[in-house]
Structures are given as C-alpha cells and as structure tokens.
Structure 1
Amino acid sequence: MKLGTRFQLSFMMFLEFFIWGAWFVTMGTFIFKNLAAGETEVSLAYLTQSIGAVIAPFIVGIIADRYFPAQIILGVIHVAGAILLWFCAGATNFDSFFPLILTYMVLFMPTLALVNSVSFGQMQDSSKDFPVIRGFGTAGWIVAGITIGYLAWEEKGMLPSTFKMAAAASALLGVYSFFLPNTPPAKKGQKISVGEILGLDAIRLLKNKSYLMFFLSSVAICIPLAFYYNFTNPFLNEIGMKAAAGKQALGQASEFIFIMIMPLFFKRLGVKKMLGLAMLSWVLRYVLFAFGNVDANYWMLIGGIVLHGICYDFFFVTGQIYTDQLAGERFKNAAQGMVTLATYGVGMMIGFLISAPIVSAFKTGEGAHNWTSIWLIPAGIALVVMLLFLLLFREKSEAKQA
C-alpha cells in the first residue's frame, strides 16, 4: 500500500472513533447533569446504539453494496451527523435530545462498516495492513477522552462542548471522505435478500451445539457490557474521580495493547480459555468497581478500567476469529453479520433496558446511588454466563468440524 493511501485511511479511522469517543463516554453524565433526567433516560439514549446496529446492515447492505461508492455515503452521513451533533449540544431537555441522538445513531452505526469497506478496498494483505490502521481508531478514542479530561469539561459542567467538538470532527471527516480512494459498490446490479443482509444465511451454524453455546453466551455477556457503557462515567463522576473521561481512555489504551499481543495468547490458550478469561475479566471488573473508591481503593477503579482490553479483545475479537474459522469461506461474512446483530443489537438492547431499573432501585438520594450493590449485579450475570460456557462449550470437537 502506498504511504499516502496508508495516511489517508489512518486519519479517516482516527476521526471516525474520535467522533464517537468525544460524546459517547460522557453522555450519561450529560443526561444526568445537563438535561436533569434520570436512569431510564440514560438507558434509552444508549439504546439508540442497538437500534442503529439493527438498522445498519440495511443501509450498508442495500445502499453501499449496490448503488453508491462507500466513501461518498460516508461523507454524506458525517456531514449530516455534524448538524445533528451540534443541535444535541443545544438540547435543554431529554424530549428534545432523544430524537436527535436516535437519528444520529441510526446514521452513525453504518459508518463503522463503511470505514472498514474503504480500508479493505485498498489492501492486498488485510491481515498485515488493517490492524495498524484500525489502531489509529483506538488512538482517536483515547485522544478524545484525554481532551475532555484535560479541559475538565465534566467538573466545569461544560459537557455540551463534547457534542460541539464531535460535530466539528464529523464535519471535517464528512468533507475529507469525498477525497478518499474510490470504493465502488461491491454488488452493483446484484439481487440481495433480507436474510443475506442480516447474516441469516449462516443460521445453520447454530445446529452445532458448542457454537450455539458460544452464540448465546455472546448475547448474554452483552447484558453486563451495557451496564459499563451506560453508567461507568456517571458512577466515576458521582464518587468524585477527577477527569473521569480521561481516565476511561486507559481502557482503550489497554485495548490497543492487548489486540497487538493477542496472537501470542491465542496460540497458547485456544478459543475456550480465551473466551473464559474474557468473561472472568468482566466479573473481576465489576467487583473492582463495586468496592473501589477515590481514596484507598482508587487502584480498584483504575484496574477495572484497564481490564477493558481483556474484556473486549479476548471475547469479541476471539469470537470473530472463531466464527470465521468455523463458518468457512462461503458463510463467514454472513456469520459475522449474524453475530454482530445478535450482540450489539439484541444483547446490548436487553442490557440497556434492564440496567436503568436496577440502577434506579438502588438510588439513595438525589444524585446518589448504592454503587456496590449495583455493580455486583452485572458481576453476577457475567459469572453465571462464564460458568455455563465453560461447562457446555467443547473446543476440541469444534476444531475438528471447522
């Protein structure tokens, strides 16, 4: 790949995840403090991610794969997204904020696939080139968190600025996208079914009992994951952590490190141990949050954040590799689509819906919660999922069938 093309794709990926990280982490705190809304509204706002994940395959599968170049659609979406994010910054109540963020996420979630399409379209060896370019996306998320922490927008009550910063970056990426390498529709003129778009052609994999166990575990583990996305930043701000968003960026730094060294672990541990270790890390993370504080147990909070690399990479990336190996060449794209829809769509949707009533039930006063009891609930869910998975999953038979 030419150096100029590599730079173009890396900067595109940096901006893509900078935009997302600029507002997504602190949105819960923004809803609590700036919109004077409650736990239910926080969950509804984050639920828009799952709604976007469900709709995304239709936008990419029907429009980008058949009619228009991926970089053009990416540019149009980000220009429109910039306008929506700017209006989000000016929202004064949840009723005006929710339609804006819902529309934005329906548009934004497909761009995660579009930036991958643009990248893969320019690569001859994706296994060599893509991890480095994708790493710039993680760097973008980290820089967004550090910026928010450095400017102390959380402490100063200036969280609307996060949406303005994201809007400016979205406008930049929108214009920049029109100058990216051309990525024409991959299936122009071809007929495509709804089942193919949703990845349902790979549903036959679920006849395999161990893969079915993995699939159900993937959906179930996204329930406690939703607690992390929803309420970690409000939790850290409530207990008095300074520059919470900046500290949370350590999770993405951990993710970057672990994804680079994953091949070493994967070769030695195998699928079952990798997935089991990821689930155990989810349990440990929430236990650390439950008993951590900004005094003597500050290390627990940092430890829970840093575990993100193992929690995310060892489960989701390992799951993607395992699915790819088992599905084979014919169904691997459909299988990945099916898993993504089930996890980010169904699993996290369930998590977003049940987390709000649980957090509300442990409210101890105006703006205060019993976080120890709250965090032990997703820890318990992750523990049950882990035990069932380790008991019922059979890696050796899976390898033979693959």
Structure 2
Amino acid sequence: MSTSIRFKLSFMMFLEFFIWGAWFVTLGTFLIQNLKASQFEIANVFSTQSLGAIIAPFIIGMIADRYFNAERILGILHLIGAFLMFQMYNSSDVAVFYPYVLTYMILYMPTLSLVNSVSFRQLTNPEKQFSSIRVFGTIGWIVAGLTISTLGWDSAEGAAEGALRNTFLMASIASLVLGLFSFVLPKTPPVKVTSDEKPSFASVIGLDAITLLKDRNYLVFFISSILICIPLAFYYQNANPFLVEIGLTNATGKMAIGQVSEAVFLLLLPVLFVRFGFKKTIIIGMLAWVVRYLLFAYGNAGDLSFMLIIGIALHGICYDFFFVSGQIYTDSKAGVKYKSAAQGLITLATYGVGQLIGFWVAGFIGEKYQGLKATDVSAFWQQTWIVPAGIALVVMIIFMILFKNEKVENKTI
C-alpha cells in the first residue's frame, strides 16, 4: 500500500470519529444545560443513534453497495451532515433540534460501514493492516474530547454559558472537510455480481443468519447481547452530564481515557482470549460493567475522584471483552455463507434494538429520580448508576448459568 493511500485512509478515519466524538460525548450535557430538555426528551434524542443503526443496513445494502462508489456516497452524506450539524448549532429548543439530529444519525450511521468498505478494498492484508488505519479513528475521538476540555466548553461555567453549542459547529466544519476530502479517496466502485448473486432483502439486514439462533448457546449469547446494551446506553446518555454536574474538571478530556483503554485492550485481547476462553472473557466484560457503575455511584470529584477515573478506564474491558469477543464468537458460529449476515444481525440487535431499549430505560430512571436533583445531585446520580449496575449483574448471572462453555476458534484477531 502506497504512503499516499495510507495517509488518505488514516485521515478519513481520523475525521470520521473526530466528528462523532466532537458532539456525541457532550450531547447529554448540552441537552440539559442549553435546551433544558427533560429526561424523556434526552432519551428521545439519544435513541436516534439506534434508529440510525437500524436503518443503516437499508442504505448501505440496498443502495450504496449496488449503485454508487462508496467514497462518493460517503462524501455526499458528510456534506449533508455538515449542513444538518450547522442547523443543530443554531437550534434553540428540543422540538427544533430533534428533526435535525434524527436525520443526521440516519445519514451518519451508514458512513461507519462506508469508511470500512473504502479501507478494506485498498488493503492487501486486512488482518494486519486495518488496525493501523482504524487506530486513527480512536485518535480522532480522543483529540475531539481533549479539544472540548482544553477550550473549556464542558466546564460548569462553559456549559452554563452555552459554549457546548460550539461542538456542533466544530463537527460541522469537520464534516464539511471530510465530505470534500472523500472525493479524492481511492475509487471504490460497487462489486459487480450476477443476478443469481445479488443479495436478498433478508440477507442485507442480516435476517439470513437468524438460523444461528437454533443453537442454544448462541441464542443465550444473542439475548445477553441485547440485554447488556441496556446498561451500555446509560453510559452514553449519562456519563458526561454526570461528570460535569458533580464537578470533575476537564470531564470530556478525561473521558478520552476510555478510548485509550479501548485501544490497549484491543491489542491485548488476542492473548487474553486464548488464555481465558470465550465464556470467561465475556463474563469479565460483563463484570466490568457492574464494577464501573458502582464506582460511578460511590465515587466523587474530590477525594474519591480516582474511582471515577478507574470507571472510565474500564471502558476497554467493558467494550472489547464483550463486543469484540462477541464478533469473534459470531464469526466462528456462522458458516461461510452467513458470515456478513451474522455480523449484521448482531449489530442490528445490539446497537439497534438493545440500545434503543436502553436509552428509554435510562430516560425513565432519570425521570423517576429527577426530584432528587434539586436537593442532592450526588444522591440523584448514585440512584441512577445503581440501576445499570444491577441490570448488568443480572445479565451476567443469567449468562453464567445458561451458557455452556465451548471452545471458540480465534479466527478474527
């Protein structure tokens, strides 16, 4: 692979995740501080990510994969996204903001697959080369968080003064840059197939792989994957508002520790996966969710701030041990015919259905304990975090009891 192509792919990944990290991490704080949104309204806004994940396969599978170059549709989606982000920057209430964020997420979620498609088509050895390209996405997310904290937009004073609105302007500019840059990316035309090879509607959205659910172990894993995404949604929706409201300095920058942890444990996972096996690896990932939320529940921004930092740093174990291991397990269970469909099905179930439920549960819990916030912010957040800790614990116990240990071949990493 030439240096020019490597730079283009790396810069593409950097911008793709810089854009996401530039506004999504602080979205909850923005909705509370700037738009005075209720807990249910916040849940409604965050649910747009899940709706985008559900709709994304239709856009990619039924349109992009058949008729357009991947790099061109990537550029068009990000140019439209730049406009939508600018409109979000100008929005003054949730009613105006919501249609823009919903449309944006429906268009953004497919770009996550598109950047992978553009990359894989240029790599001669994806297993070895992709991680060195994809890591720039993690760096982009980290840089976005550090930028927000360095500029003080996420501080209590900055958030109160409306500075978080600038995150959407920053994301809009980055989206414009990536939209234009996409047109100089390596050409990635649709793969030509015969009429007999054209995927069915069911295969595009992963339903061909539903036969995997006949396997008892995989059914247990599949249901557990949906359920564990409920506590995951609590983190996405509440982590930044929680850290800002209890007074942790440079909250968004410190949350980037989670992405550093994710990158480190991703490199360690092949060794740990072989050492512990699939079932123990998944259980460790679930246990990390329980511990993380208990640390959030009983930590504070003062003498116990180390508990919050440890909770953030556990992100690598929470995410990699469960989701990446789950992708490996899914790959091992699916035959050659269903490999892509199986990954599509598990993604639809987790980022789509599981997190959609999770965001609404988080909204319900937030509304239930809202009365505490006026008198005791710490008590409000303690009650809020105990709930996902309990859910994660129950899911872990169910998985431990019902999933029978089996050897999983390490094919993906």
* SS of residue paired to 2:300: coil
1:102-159 residue CA offsets vs partner (Å, 9 max, x unmatched): 0000000000000000000111211101111111100100000000011010221300
Task: Tell me how far apart the structure 2 counterparts of residues 91 and 300 of structure 1 sit (CA, whole Å).
Answer: 36
Equivalent positions of 1:2-401 (< 5 A) are 2-155=2-155, 156-157=158-159, 158-187=163-192, 190=195, 191-363=198-370, 364-366=372-374, 368=377, 370-396=380-406
Task: Tell me how far apart the structure 1 counterparts of residues 332 and 14 of structure 2 sit (CA, whole Å).
Answer: 29
Output the amino acid matched with 1:249: A
Output the amino acid matched with 1:74: L
- Structure 2, gaps ≥5 residues long: none
Task: Tell me how far apart the structure 1 counterparts of residues 35 and 408 of structure 2 sit (CA, whole Å).
Answer: 50
1:251-293 residue CA offsets vs partner (Å, 9 max, x unmatched): 0011011111211111111111111100000000000000010
Task: Tell me how far apart the structure 1 counterparts of residues 45 and 252 of structure 2 sit (CA, whole Å).
Answer: 18
Residue 29 (structure 1) shift = 0.5
Aligned length: 399
Task: Tell me how far apart the structure 1 counterparts of residues 4 and 267 of structure 2 sit (CA, whole Å).
Answer: 23
Residue 186 (structure 1) shift = 2.2
* SS of residue paired to 1:66: helix
Output the amino acid matched with 1:223: I
Task: Tell me how far apart the structure 2 counterparts of residues 304 and 358 of structure 1 sit (CA, whole Å).
Answer: 21
1:63-118 residue CA offsets vs partner (Å, 9 max, x unmatched): 11100000000000000000100110111100000000000000000000000000
Task: Tell me how far apart the structure 1 counterparts of residues 271 and 199 of structure 2 sit (CA, whole Å).
Answer: 39
Contact 1:152 1:243 in 2 (8 A): yes
Residue 383 (structure 1) shift = 0.4
Contact 1:65 1:188 in 2 (8 A): no
Task: Tell me how far apart the structure 2 counterparts of residues 87 and 238 of structure 1 sit (CA, whole Å).
Answer: 27
TM-score (norm 2): 0.94
Contact 2:228 2:395 in 1 (8 A): yes
Identity value in percent: 55
Output the amino acid matched with 1:335: A
The Cα RMSD (Å) is 1.3
Task: Tell me how far apart the structure 1 counterparts of residues 374 and 89 of structure 2 sit (CA, whole Å).
Answer: 24
Output the amino acid matched with 2:76: V
Task: Tell me how far apart the structure 2 counterparts of residues 187 and 389 of structure 1 sit (CA, whole Å).
Answer: 42
Output the amino acid matched with 1:207: K
Residue 189 (structure 1) shift = 6.4
TM-score (norm 1): 0.97
Output the amino acid matched with 1:387: I
Output the amino acid matched with 1:91: S
Contact 1:66 1:189 in 2 (8 A): no
